[in-house]
Amino acid sequence: MDTDIRDEIEHSFGDGPPLPLDDDLLRRAHGALRRRRLAESVAVMAVALVAVTGAGLLAGGDGPNAEPMPAGPPTSTTESKDPAPTFPPAPTSDGDGRAPGAPVVRDPHLPADTPVDAQVDGLHVALGVGIEELRDDPWNVRDDGDWSVAVAYTAPGAPLTWWVGYVGADGGASSASIAAKYSRGLGFDAWVAAQGDGVRGGDSTSEGTTPEGGWPGLTDVELVRFVEGTERLEPVPGATLLRQREHPDLPRSWAGAGDRSAVAEVELDGTRYYVLARSNAGERTPQYIAVKASRGGATLDDFLELARERYAEGGGGLL
């Protein structure tokens, strides 16, 4: 009877009206991917911000004028979400002469109703904010109908801040920022590019330009595989297994107690890699994520520290 029912249902309705043309699908998909990646990087920054703000409170820096940054070096993530200018689509019908769809840069320390003071190359700049540098579409996404913009700006009571924002053609927007003094030696343009590496590349194998930024994982480099039924790894022909650890201590989002998991340091053709491997219970194929040592850290322990950050809640993963 089930087979009969299956056939009956299959033939109980047609194919419907002609499938609509959907030239927009890939563009929408690209935009969704960018927003997801940028949101993940901002989530990492938010975690770091909690850490550094906590440090500031412990140091007694909780007065109304206290700078929300630690006195000492920042934690492992250098970026900070604070101060973060807002980046909403500007009103298009408020009669103040703004260009339709242009964003507004405001410093969050300023009252929300601070009037727009000037228009700088498509940006509406809040009163008191000074634009030091501006890069129009540094991520080169305009061809997709989107737009990116980066500014270095100053505001009363705030340090020099770098900020980059992205507006999708469908109206979605995201932004990231950092106090320039916490950029760990990166220049403004390099920092902007690093944020874009996580957002711009449509390919899962794209690499970030810093260990902190981007998604350094590679899935097209075959280096090791699980020994059947174990958590031990063996190298593929041509690769050299330098060291490995079974079931490394990583968050559950990477692997749970019932999953097989391992990490290894491997060399292939003169290049050193770290590989995270897992075989989740119930899934048919293991996953192997390789990260070049140049991106994953100096030692296997450094790489595991990176992996712990990336697979913590909101960490964004390695891919």
The binding site for other proteins (CB under 8 A) comprises 1-2, 5-6, 8-17, 19-20, 22, 25-30, 32-33, 36, 143-144, 202-204, 219, 283-285, 287, 319
DSSP string of 137-162, one letter each residue: STT--GGGT-EEEEEEEEETTEEEEE
Q: DSSP 3-state assignment of 58? A: helix
Minimum distance from residue 47 beta carbon to other proteins (Å): 21
Rg of the Cα atoms in the chain: 24
| Shorter beta-carbon distance to other proteins: residue 5 or 190 | 5
| CA–CA distance, 67 with 53 (Å, rounded to integer) | 9
Closer CB to other proteins, 154 or 287, in the complex: 287
Question: Residue 191: helix, strand or coil by DSSP?
Answer: helix
With vertex at residue 14, the alpha carbon angle to CA 11 and CA 18, rounded to the nearest 5 degrees, is 160
- For other proteins, the closer of residues 35 and 98 by Cβ is 35
Residue 36 CB, nearest approach to other proteins (Å): 5
Phi–psi pair at 164, nearest 5 degrees: -135, 135
Q: How far is the CB of 273 from other proteins (least distance, A)?
A: 18
Comparing CB distances to other proteins, the nearer of 75 and 287 is: 287
What would the two tokens of residue 305 be? 């520290």
How near is the Cβ of 291 to other proteins at its closest, in Å? Answer: 14
The rounded distance, in Å, linking the Cα atoms of 283 and 91 is 49
Least CB distance to other proteins at residue 231 (A): 20
Contacts of 4 (CB under 8 A, 6+ apart): none
d(CA 9, CA 132): 65
Closest separation in Å from C-beta 5 to other proteins: 5
Whichever of 143 and 313 has its CB closer to other proteins, that residue is 143
Give whichever of 191 and 254 is closer to other proteins, judged by the CB atom: 254
Give the span between the Cα atoms of 105 and 250, in whole angstroms.
39
